[in-house]
Every structure is written in C-alpha cells, then in structure tokens.
Chain A
Amino acid sequence: MRKINDETIWKLLRNILLVCGLTLILFPLYLVVINAFKTLDEAGRSFFAFPESLNTGNFTELFTNSNYWVFLRNSLKITVISVGMILILVPSVSYAVARNFEKRYYKTIYFYLLMGLFIPSQVIMLPVTKMMTKLNMLNHTGLIILYAAFSLTQGVFLFVNYIRGLPYEIEESAQIDGCSVFGTYVRIVLPLVKPMLSTLLIMDTLWIWNDFMLPLLMLNRTQEIWTLPLFQYNFKTEYSFNYTMAFTAYLLAMLPMLIIYCLGQKYIIKGLTAGSVKG
C-alpha cells in the first residue's frame, strides 16, 4: 500500500506544481491580451474580466497614429538581412576551418574566433558605439554588420564541431568524381548540415528580433529608425498613463514571434536546445 500512496502523493504534487506554473505563465499573457481590447475606462472598472465588447480602438490608433508599421518593417529588415548574412558566412568559414584543421592558419582562425566566448557584451558596447559614431554608421547598415560580426563566435563554435563530426568520405568521393571544393560545399556539405542551419536560424532570429541593447546604443536617435523593442521601451514613457494602449503595443510586438512559434514550436525548441547545449 505504501508504494501506491507514494505514487499518488507525487502525482498530486506534480499536478499542483504544473498548474501553478501554467498559471504563472499564462495569466500575465491573458491580462495583456484582454486589456489590449479594452478602453482605459473599462480596464479601470474590470481589469481581470473579459472585455465587454471587442474594442479595437487601441489597435486602430496604434496602426494609424504611431509608426508601428515602420518599426515592424525596421525590425523585419534588420533581422532578415542579418540572419541571411549569418547563414551565408558562418557555415562557409566553419567548413573551411573544419576541413583544414591540421593547418596552422585555420586552427588559429578557429581559436581567434572563439575568443569571443569570453567577452561579455558590456565590454563591447561602449567602444563599439564610439567606433560606429566615428564611422558615421549609427544606422541599420551599421547594426546589421555588427550582428553579423558578433554572431560568428557562437556560430563557428557550433558548426566546426558539427562538421568535424561528419564523415569525410562522401566529400572525398565527390571530389574524386570531379566536384570542386565549392561544388562539394554547396551540393554535399550544406544539405548535411541542415539541422545546424535551422538551429543557427532560430537562435539568431530570436536574438536579433528581441535584442534591446544594441538598438538602444545605435538607433535611439530618431523615431524612423527604431526597432520594435526600442519602440516599446520608449512607449513606456510616452503612454505611461494609457496602459491599455501599452498592453496593445506589447501584444503587437510579441505577436510575430508567437505566430512563428505556434507554426514550428517542435523545431524551435529542438533547435534552441541543440544550440545552447553545445554553445
């Protein structure tokens, strides 16, 4: 009997824990969603209840009176171009390093790029801002270049180890059959590293899309170049009294990522775990 008791107590505790956890995650999000559809008056009267009617006034106001679409476009542009660059640069340099690891030049590059693992972002943020100011690159182009440069460490660390774990024989036979190094890379290596490519894609998309520190340092001058996180932060002071409006803004900022998450959550979780375990 004792063992059965044990089991039921554990199951009970576990379910209580999970329900508490789910509440803690979902309740704040629930409050954001329902209050986004309320007027300030209505939220003042009933903060926790469902909205009486689906009031989309906050949304229309944000869409028309703020530069939401501009910020969304900025965020999209920066994320897509940066991640695109990363997906081209990281695998190719990793391939070169992984397949020439016995040569001194490539080994040096590997450890040189890996140095970044030891450097916290705060060390970079001050001097890089000064440098970009001097270069007159406090704009999207500058930010994109920085993302590409800063992503190399983690990306190369993941990819070199992964490629070195792949069997070399396939590439060798392709090259004997007359395939060039570049051809081998495109036709054989890239398809083989697909799982790592998706990890890199997910990791860096999330990082760049949600990043706050670099845009704060680089773009916090004129509204037209803000990204979504920067918009939300500055929105805090601008609309501090109108909090249902603020909730609408938060909802709209989260929405793109949450939609993507709903579509591919299995791959996203898998990709991110693979990245963080190795990195």
Chain B
Amino acid sequence: MSKTTKWRMPGKAVYFAFTVIPVALYTFFYVVSVINGVKYSFTDWDGMSVDYGYVGFKNYMLLFKNPNFWNSLKTTLFYSCMLVAVVILASLLLSVSLNSLKWFKTFVKSIFFVPAMIGGVTIALIWDQLFYRVVPLIGQFLGIEWMSQSLLMTGKTALPAVVFVQAWQAVAMPTVIFIAGLQQIPEEQYESAKIDGATAFERFRYITMPYLLPTVTVNLVLTIKQGFTSFDFPYALTGGGPVRATEVIGILIYNDAFKNMRFSVANAEACILFIVVAVFSLTQLKLTAKGGVNE
C-alpha cells in the first residue's frame, strides 16, 4: 500500500476522469431521450402498445391540418406576447422606481423578490382560490361586469388571467436584473443632465435607456422562453380550458401524450416546439456571448 501513496494519477487522466460521469449521464438520459422523441414522432405509437410502425411525416401532416394544433400555437403566441409585454413593462417601471428609493431600498426590493421563491404550482393554486373568492368581490364592488364572475371560467378572460398569475412570479427576476443594469450608470451623468435642465423623462430616455438596453435583451429572451414553455401555471389553473381557451402548447403535448393516447403526435408537437425554442436560444447565446451585462 505504501506504493499507492507515492503513485499519482497523471494529470491528463484526472481531467478525463472528471468528464466521464457527467458525459455518460447526459448522453444516456438527455441526448438519447431527445433522439427517441424525434424517432417516436415518425411512428404511430400510442404510448402503451408493445409494437409500432414508422409512418414517416404523417403525424406532422396531420398536425398542420389540425385546427386544435393551430389554435394551440396561436394561444401560445398570444400568451407569450402578453407575458412579455406585462413582465418587461412592469419590471422596467419597478426597477427604476426601486433604484431611486432612498430609504428601505433593500427591504422593499427583497419583498418584490419573494414570488421568485415560491413554486409555480403553489402560486397558481393560491390565485385559483383568489380568482374564485376575492376577485369577483372586487369586481362587484367596482361594478365591473367581467370581473364579477370567476375569470378562469370565461373563455375571453381565462388566458389573460393565467398570464397575470405567471407574471406575478415572473416579474421578480427581470426587475433585479434591471436594477443591476441601472446601478452601473454613473451618478454624475444625472447630475450634469439636471444642471443642463433635462426633464425626468429626458433623463430616462437619454441616460437610463442606453445603459439598460443590453439587460432588456436578456430579459426579453428569458421571458419569451418562459412563455413558450409555460406549463405549471395553465396546468394547475385551468388545465387548458375552458374549451381550449388556455391550451398552450405545453398543455397540448401533455394531454395528447397521457390523456388522448396520441403519444407519437404529441412527440411531433414537441419537435415543432423544439425548432421554435432553438431559434430563440440561438439568439440568446449570441447575446450573452457578447457579454450583455455586467461582471
């Protein structure tokens, strides 16, 4: 044994050993799964039966003819657009407001960050109760008709309601990222702008905005991705209903695979989502590689 204490694994071997387990795990559980998924999308497998056959692009062709699929894509797009608009606008306003606070800045900021700590399902279930018990009361009190019934039950209001709940959580992170961007702005620039007589809006437009632009792109991509892959919130709040009004692509895939026994079709849907997300992720990689923000 005394020999082993002197013997030392060569450096190269140590480096190589470091890579073995992660690469094996990733290959077996991740890459093989993706390949299987693509493979299943070209079959007629229902997910249960023992054997299945290859059908070529039939699933894709069927999907393109299926109004429910197009409806789901449209819903997902609407969902993402609304989410992005709400989240970016709210976090921008919040971060500028928070950053200019003189007292209790850290404390107030930490309260605004609380939703990021809570899981999507918990938040969705809490709001589910509130939509049922509290929001109608507010609607009646204010005399707003569409708010007087449960927002999740009516086709027109269900989607914005789900977006609202996801935004309730999703605003936290972009706000903090924006604040990090804001803190890079040298105070002197504001001072001299003030002396030159610039209004608050002008100062925001010509000093704050240019500094924030790189963070805006990061937050945009972050939120768009969240919108496209949304699952927890619509699943726990509406399950896709009423009458497919909130059936985003994540829900459609899940329902087709595990409830409607259309496993191979669901995989084809997932592959289409894959292409969409890949395009956005490429953009993200390009942006972060350029060193978008600080550090």
Chain A interface (Cβ < 8 Å from any Cβ of B): 3, 6-7, 10, 14, 17-18, 21-22, 24-26, 28-29, 31-32, 47, 89-90, 92-93, 95-97, 99-100, 106, 109, 112-113, 115-128, 130-131, 145-146, 148-150, 152-153, 156, 175, 180-182, 185, 206, 209-213, 229, 232-233, 236, 243, 246-247, 250, 253-254, 257-258, 261, 265-266, 268-269, 272-274, 276-279
Contacts and interface: CB of A to CB of B under 8 A. Distances in A.
A210 B173 CA distance: 16
A15 to B, nearest CB: 8
A99 B15 contact: yes
A149 B26 contact: yes
B180 interface: yes
Contacts of A211: 119
Interface-central residue, B31, B129, B168, B231, by most chain A CB under 10 Å:
B129
Interface in B239-295: 249-250, 253-254, 257, 263, 266-267, 270-271, 273-274, 277-278, 281-282, 284-285, 288, 292-295
B18 A229 contact: no
Interface stretch (B77-85, B105-113, B146-154): B105-113
Given A7-B200, A109-B19, A122 B231 contact: yes
Given A126-B257, A258-B114, A272-B173, A243 B197 contact: no
Interface residues of B, number: 97
Given A28-B127, A254-B122, A123 B274 contact: yes
B63 interface: no
Chain B interface, >50% SS class: helix
B126 A28 contact: yes
A106 B19 contact: yes
B110 A269 contact: yes
B122 A277 contact: no
B194 to A, nearest CB: 8
B36 A123 contact: no
8 contacts: A17-B94, A47-B134, A119-B30, A126-B263, A175-B11, A212-B231, A212-B235, A232-B125
B205 to A, nearest CB: 14
Given A123-B271, A123-B274, A126-B270, A206 B130 contact: no
Contact of B274 (A113, A120, A128, A266): A120
B14 A118 contact: no
B108 A18 contact: yes
A274 B295 contact: yes
A270 B266 CA distance: 39
B121 A212 contact: yes
A26 B257 CA distance: 38
Contacts of B285: 117
A257 B37 CA distance: 34
A32 B123 CA distance: 11
Interface-central residue, B26, B98, B118, B231, by most chain A CB under 10 Å:
B26
Contacts of B274: 118-120, 123
